Homo-oligomer: A and B are copies of this chain.
Amino acid sequence: MAEINHKVGISASPAAVYAYLTTDEGLAHWWTWDVSGAGAVGSVIAFRFQGKGPDFKVVELQPSNLVRWQHTGNVPSEWVGTEISFVLDETESQTFVRFKHSGWQEASDFLAHCSTKWAVFLLSLKGSLETGRGHPFPDDLHIDHS
């Protein structure tokens, strides 16, 4: 099994970060404008990029502390069986977000691509909370010319 790990520190309260991870409006600030379905444990969030994209089932929520999603459906195929978690840790000066995308079959080229792209989106999360300017799809930073 292979996984992606990231960590960013955000000048915002854990409650504010948590809201950006658990509501359609919040998620639209940093990952993709086309998102629907975010809610309580058991809800399925549909993230869309030009009409296509993954669904994630919310499997665990601890307010201001933990968000855990399980991939559901078949798109993208390498994400089948994977899970994403965000762990929030408050310090005096910032809230750290510890991101993990685990359960990959192997450290493929697509994992490497997604690892870089997740960094871009987590920095978009940081920017959206600190300055009001995130870069969700379709305004996301391009990491290649494909």
Interface residues of A (CB under 8 A from B): 2-11, 93-94, 96, 98-100, 107, 109, 111-113, 115-116, 119-120, 122-123, 126, 141, 143-146
Contacts and interface: CB of A to CB of B under 8 A. Distances in A.
Contacts of A145: 9, 11, 93-94
Contact of A6 (B8, B93, B115, B141): B115
A115 B146 contact: no
A5 B3 CA distance: 9
Nearest to A111: B5
Given A5-B107, A11-B145, A145-B11, A112 B126 contact: no
Given A4-B115, A122-B116, A143-B8, A98 B93 contact: no
A9 B93 CA distance: 35
A49 B109 CA distance: 30
Best-buried of A6, A100, A111 by chain B (most CB within 10 Å): A6
A2 B120 CA distance: 21
A112 B143 contact: no
Contacts of A3: 107
Contacts of A126: 143
Contact of A112 (B2, B93, B99, B120): B99
A99 B119 CA distance: 14
